[in-house]
Each structure stands twice: as structure tokens, then as C-alpha cells.
Amino acid sequence: MSSKKAIIIGAGVGGMATAIRLRLLGYHVQVFEKNNYPGGKLTHFETNGFRFDAGPSLFTSPQLIEALFTLAKEPMAPYFSYEKLKVACNYFYEDGVCIKAYTNRESFASELQEKTGEPIQNLYRYLNHASEAYHHIANIFLRYSLHSIQTIIKAPIIKAIGKLKLAYLFKSLNIYNEKAFKSPKLVQLFNRFATYNGSNPYTAPAMLSLIAHLEHNEGAFYPKGGMISITNALYGLAVKLGVEFTFGQSVQQIMIKDQVVQGVMVNHTQHPASIVVSNMDVYFTYKNLLNDTVKAAEVKKQERSSSAFIFYWGMNKSFPMLDLHNIFFSTDYKAEFDAIFNTGLPFYDPTVYINITNKQEPGKHAPVGKENWFVMINVPANNGQDWTMLEDFYRKAIIEKLNKILGTQVESYIEVSEVLSPVTIESKTASYMGSLYGTSSNSKMAAFMRHPNDSKTTSGLYFVGGSVHPGGGIPLCLSSAAIVSNLIQDKYKNLS
């Protein structure tokens, strides 16, 4: 049986999607998860009548989830549904300007022209370039392993090279955006897309400009029931297909003999398998499960992505000026990223993101007349900072900014408060240093430096999730699962 058995370490989005795909390839699949619930970072909790999505809050590329149900020949409707947003995000600036980022590009262009004087054609040009780059360049990055000759020859490399502008590699995202837009507000707005993979727009390559394609060409969406419905859908589909989940048990070791995977050790019991896929952070996979200090040290050398400090506030008031997604920009964006990636010091004026799912489903995520605020700022990865002290520092900085822009006393309406720091992110999700996306993308070669999805020294060992290729975030983790399953299918297609 073990010749067709696959073990997945971790029930995050990437792990569950891989489990579904391998089950459909005929493998008996067992998933070991140290927590008592699936989802990894994509979880939720309830307190005093308020429901909070605990982790990722932006939903794009729903077709990646639909693809799993199509492969399984299972109708998606009983598991999962979503709707397209009319406004992707509200952007607030301290001079009183508020920009609604409509998902309809004509409406968005008109909004930008009205609020900032930006010529309409500048937005169209930017989004057209982003679309072209995404379809000809990013699709290779998202669909193929960049570390395997066998799979890369399948990719339309020549066509992609023809579409590759030197600016994408040799200019920073910020410099690229400064040339694209006249308004500093627009430069800051589009610089923000570097944070989608935990990077610094002042050093990360302009290639990241293609991220805007997802939100402003394809659209932003809301999964009904909140982001936790994504976890529930993947878990439900996996169970329906016969994937076996074991919760509350940590894998202690990946067993290897003669450079071939033998299975895993759990609670001092051996579980044989011919395929082992780690959805655990690749650093901890090498350090704790493979006892490979050399490989762990190699991973450790790479710059970490940013982390986050999150406040979950139950507000006993409704704020009509806010929407599902809201950004309150720093007055000095460059200094903010310098603090995150260079000095590591707490920054007095952080950009604040607020997600309020009750806006989409009134009365379902908060009591009537109240709101569930997911309040997040980007912070450095954990390097031994005093996060208890910083909690108070960041709370005061956030409240001061919100009071100024919203013209109210936010703290007087906070009825419920919970927090998540880089330390708790690391302890709950085994993300090294609490970094949300593994390594950063702050160099032009970052895409090629991310850890591959298969081991080059151990047959049968694979890696999936945000710490490996192609990167962090829900769409990339789902893409990672597809890459892993294709690598396995190609290698073991003759296995009986």
C-alpha cells in the first residue's frame, strides 16, 4: 500500500490542495496537522458575538479553487460560493482624500482623475502592461517549476522573453510606478502591491507591478461566510474524496534511507509512504524534520518577508465611510519600509489596513449596529523584539492615525480586543520568524532563489506552500500545489 501512499505534513491551503490533487491521482493520502484544525494561517475565531477571519483577508483568482472541484468532478456550490466586489479597496490619505478603487477599470480611472488629476490613459496603460506581463510571464512562474529541466521545457519561454521588459528586472517597483503615474498618491497606491508578498517596493523589482492585474483586471472577490469558507471548502472536498486527516499530532521526523523517502515518524510511530510533501515552512522542515543544519542555514541566509501585527477589534459602532477593505496610508511610505526591512525599529506612522467582513454580510459577523475590525500593520519579522511593549506602541499609533482621518475617538468604541504578533504567528503556523511569505522578493533574482518544490537529493520528497516556489498568499499556495502534483505525476506516472 505504501507504494501508492502520500503523506502531507501540514493542513494549510497548499497542503490540502496537494492532498486533493494526489488523491485524484490515485494515492492514498494522509495529512498530519499539529493543530486541532485545518487551514494554517487561514483560520477564524469568535468572541462575544464577533466573528473574525484570523489570517489572509483578500480573495483573488477564484478559478484556482474552482479548478479543484472541476478536477474532482464535484459541484462546488454545496461547498463554496463567492461574489465579485464593486470596490476592491478604499484608500485614505491624511490630507482628506479618499480613493475608491473600483474593480471596473473605467470607474476606477474616472475616480483617479477626479481625486488626483491623473490622466485616464495612465491607468489603462499600466493595467494593460500588467495584464500582458501576467499572461506571458507570470503564468510560467505560477504553473511551472523553475528548478526542473523536464517541466520548464514545457513552458512557452521564448514568448515570455519577448514580453520581458528590462525595467521589470532592473528597476524597482517604486521607480517604475513613478514613471507610470504623475500623482504621488497613485505611486503609493500601486507601490502597495509589493506588500502582497511581504516585500519592499523601493527595492523589489518592477516585475511585481503585474500583481495589480489580479485585483484590477480580474477583480477582487468575497467568499460568502468569510475567508474561513475557503478552508472549509478545501477540507470538505478532501474528506469527500477520502483524504485522511490526523489532527493534534506533529510529525517528528521525515524518514530517509539511501536518499529515498521512507515515510514519517509521528509519536514515535513510523508511517511508511513513497511520497512526503511538507507544507511546513521549509526552514523548519530542514531544521526539525530532516536534521539538516546545512540546508537550514542556507534558507536562513535569505531575507525574510515582512510579518504583521494584527488587532481584532469588536466595535460597538457602525462606520458608513468604511467598506470591506480599507487602507490608511502612512505619510512617509519610504521610511515605513526602511523601518520594516532595514532598521527594524518600530515606526510611528504605519500604514493601517482594516478588513470588515460584516460589511458584506451584515448581522452575520457582528451584532446589529456593530462591526468586526481586522486591523493589520506590516512589521519586521520576529528577531527577538519586545512584542509586549510594541503592542502598546502600535496600538497607540494606529488609534492616533484612525482618529485623525476618521475624525472620531476610535478607542472609545472598542468592545472586544484580541491580538496576533509575529511570535504567535510563528508558534501557531511554524512560519520562521513569523514572516508571512517566507523569503522576501526584494531582489531581481528572488523568484529564482525561492526553494524548489522538489528535493534534488532525496527522491520522493516535495515542498509546498508559502515558503517555497512560487511564494506566499492563497493563489500562490494553490499554484504551488498544482506544481507539486504535476512533478509527482510526471515522475511516477508509470507506478502501478
Tell which of 155, 190, 213 closes a domain: 213
In a domain, 427, yes or no: no
- Based on the fold, state whether residues 447 and 485 are members of the same structural domain: yes
- Based on the fold, state whether residues 270 and 347 are members of the same structural domain: no
Residue carrying C-alpha cell 494522509: 30
In a domain, 281, yes or no: yes
How many degrees, rounded to 5, is the angle at CA 295 between CA 290 and CA 299? 115
Number of other CB atoms surrounding residue 358 within 10 Å: 22
Res 153: pLDDT: 59
Contact between 374 and 57 (Cβ < 8 Å):
yes
Q: How far apart are CA 372 and CA 374, in angstroms?
A: 7
Q: How far apart are CA 224 and CA 228, in angstroms?
A: 9
Tell which of 213, 234, 251 closes a domain: 213
- Based on the fold, state whether residues 234 and 295 are members of the same structural domain: yes
Alpha carbon separation from 261 to 14, 316, 336, 483, 489 (Å, rounded): 20, 54, 44, 19, 17
Q: Please name every residue paired with 378 in a beta bridge, in sequence order, or none if there are none.
A: 308
What are the start-end ranges of the E strands in 2-107?
5-9, 28-33, 44-47, 50-53, 82-84, 87-92, 98-102
Q: How far apart are CA 1 and CA 78, in angstroms?
A: 32
- Based on the fold, state whether residues 177 and 235 are members of the same structural domain: no
How many degrees, rounded to 5, is the angle at CA 355 between CA 353 and CA 358? 160
Q: How far apart are CA 79 and CA 70, in angstroms?
A: 13
In a domain, 411, yes or no: yes
- Based on the fold, state whether residues 293 and 337 are members of the same structural domain: no
End-to-end CA distance of the chain: 11
- Based on the fold, state whether residues 246 and 284 are members of the same structural domain: yes
What are the start-end ranges of the E strands in 273-409?
275-278, 307-315, 325-328, 352-355, 371-379
- Based on the fold, state whether residues 299 and 310 are members of the same structural domain: no
> β-pairing, 5-9 with 275-278?
parallel
Q: How far apart are CA 25 and CA 485, in angstroms?
A: 8
Sheet holding 461-463, edge to edge: 244-247, 28-33, 5-9, 275-278, 461-463
- Based on the fold, state whether residues 332 and 365 are members of the same structural domain: yes
Alpha carbon separation from 202 to 181, 314, 358 (Å, rounded): 16, 35, 34
Res 452: pLDDT: 92
Cell of 427: 508558534
- Based on the fold, state whether residues 246 and 316 are members of the same structural domain: no
- Classify burial at 130, counting beta carbons within 10 Å of its beta carbon; exposed 0-12, middle 13-18, buried 19 or more: buried
- Based on the fold, state whether residues 133 and 36 are members of the same structural domain: no
Residue 10's domain comprises 2-42+226-303+436-492
HSE, CB side, 13 Å, CA atoms: give it for residue 399.
14
Which of 118, 113, 133, 144 has the alpha carbon at shortest distance from 213? 133
Q: How far apart are CA 103 and CA 302, in angstroms?
A: 35
- Based on the fold, state whether residues 296 and 312 are members of the same structural domain: no
In a domain, 62, yes or no: no
Q: How far apart are CA 183 and CA 168, in angstroms?
A: 21
In a domain, 67, yes or no: no
- Based on the fold, state whether residues 355 and 328 are members of the same structural domain: yes
Res 158: pLDDT: 45
CATH number at residue 28: 3.50.50.60
Tell which of 184, 213, 242 closes a domain: 213
Contact between 144 and 153 (Cβ < 8 Å):
no
In a domain, 167, yes or no: yes
Burial 49-87 (b: 16+ CB within 10 A, else e): ebbbbbbbbbbbbbebbeebbebbebebeebbebeebeb
The pTM assigned to this predicted structure is 0.93
In a domain, 27, yes or no: yes
Residuewise pLDDT in 10s, the chain (496 residues): 346 999 999 999 999 999 999 999 999 999 999 999 999 999 999 999 999 999 999 999 999 999 999 999 999 999 999 999 999 999 999 999 999 999 999 999 999 999 999 999 999 999 999 998 888 776 666 676 666 665 555 555 545 445 556 556 679 999 999 999 999 999 999 999 999 989 999 999 998 899 999 999 999 999 999 999 999 999 999 999 999 999 999 999 999 999 999 999 999 999 999 999 999 999 999 999 999 999 999 998 888 899 999 999 999 999 999 999 999 999 999 999 999 999 999 999 999 999 999 999 999 999 999 999 999 999 999 999 999 999 999 999 999 999 999 999 999 999 999 999 999 999 999 899 999 888 887 776 665 578 999 999 999 999 999 999 898 899 999 999 999 999 999 888 755 4
> β-pairing, 28-33 with 5-9?
parallel
Contact between 193 and 210 (Cβ < 8 Å):
no
Give the number of domains in the chain.
3
In a domain, 82, yes or no: no
